[in-house]
Amino acid sequence: MLELCTAIAERKDRVHIRGIIYKENGIFVKTAARPYIENLDEIPHPARQMLNFESYLVPPGIIRGHWSERSTTIMTSRGCPFQCIWCGSQCTFGRKVRYRSVDNVIEEIELLIRDHKINAIWIVDDTFTLSKKRVSEFCDKIFAKNIKIVWGCQAHIKTADLEMFKLMKKAGCIQLDFGVESGSDKVLQELKKDSNSMLIEKAFQIARHADLRTAATFMFGSPGEKEKDVELTFKLAKKIRPDFVSSFFITPYPGTEFMTMVEKNNWEFPLNRHEIGLKKKPALKIYFNEEQLLDIRKRFQKEFAFQNFAGVILSPKFFFKATILALSYPMGLLAGVKKFFKTKVIDDFFFEFLIYYTKQKQLVKKSI
């Protein structure tokens, strides 16, 4: 960005700036790829003081099912070695994993606690649990510095390890998110997920033995997925018993292998793309049509509705605070009800309310 701004200010040619795309005389120009930053410790901590950061610190917080007054995210690595065909991470950060040093990460956490009174963090790395040695070092530093904070992260099925998970739990980790995607080994192979139903079952068993809550995400509409595969997904989701379940529609993103497949197979992909994707509407009709996919997701979320909100309902503290919050924003409740009647998915009611509430909180804080 500095190179680009300098070139514009000095009216110099931009073609030598690596890693940009611009339009010149009606033609798009794509320059050479920019090399990745290898030493992530060279990057300063996010300048949160330059934002209206307080606007982002709104309860119930980032970790699902855990009430936090002040929570935020951190990123401790870049890159993901897995080959999942739909994931856009490799387009941004590549396959090679680069890590910030543990000391650098701990320093940022201490700054968050000291300067912003943060009491919960979500680690947004594609897979925080890739290196057992690094995770152990991270936990040891948490103990050594007596840092009191709860946290959660994403883990890949193949990284499940009881010793590591127990250490993470002791160091304040309360939840792991796993991308399960499907209960069909055939579909998982099509997605290049590098997992199978047996490994998935084992990973969730290990997490339970470590007393860690789990969240599982699933996708519908994947290549090769048919009725039998959908039923296998329902069956596996019941068997692994995650604490939270979310489902999405597979969505192609530019630069991914999946997008190449879409173009090669001429799968129907609508032009009004702002209306489709993830939880909105199915992006593609590979085998199932839109109505069928909407019904599949509705049935799936309904199946796990109580499971998703049991922790909230059974926690008096969380339930009381959530009730007060809901009553304070009646228009948010109305927005949630409208969304629910549109999708018939109870999760969408809560997410729609949270979107409205968060926006209102930010507007109020900006006006102060």
Q: What is the pLDDT of residues 170-219, one digit of tens each?
A: 999 999 999 999 999 999 999 999 999 999 999 999 999 999 999 999 99
List Cα–Cα distances, 357 to 248, 264, 329, 343, in angstroms.
23, 42, 7, 20
pTM equals: 0.86
What pLDDT score does 281 carry? Answer: 80
- Give pLDDT, residue 72: 95
pLDDT score at 364: 62
Residue with tokens 């000095």: 10
Give me the pLDDT at residue 275, please. Answer: 59
Report pLDDT for 87. Answer: 93
Q: Given this model, what pLDDT does residue 285 score?
A: 86
Regions of the chain short of the pLDDT cut 70: 270-280, 311-314, 364-368
Taking the C-alpha atoms of residue 251 and residue 264, their distance in angstroms, rounded to an integer, is 16
Which amino acid is located at 197 in the chain? S
Structural domains in the chain, sorted by start: 1-35 (no CATH), 40-310 (3.80.30.20)
Q: Are strands 77-78 and 98-99 parallel, antiparallel or unpaired?
A: antiparallel
**213-220 β-sheet, strand order:** 71-74, 120-123, 150-155, 173-181, 213-220, 244-249
DSSP state of 126: S
pLDDT value for 276: 58
Sign of the C-alpha dihedral, residues 336, 341, 342, 345?
positive
Q: Distance (Å, rounded) from C-alpha 222 to C-alpha 187? A: 7
**pLDDT value at position 356?**
86
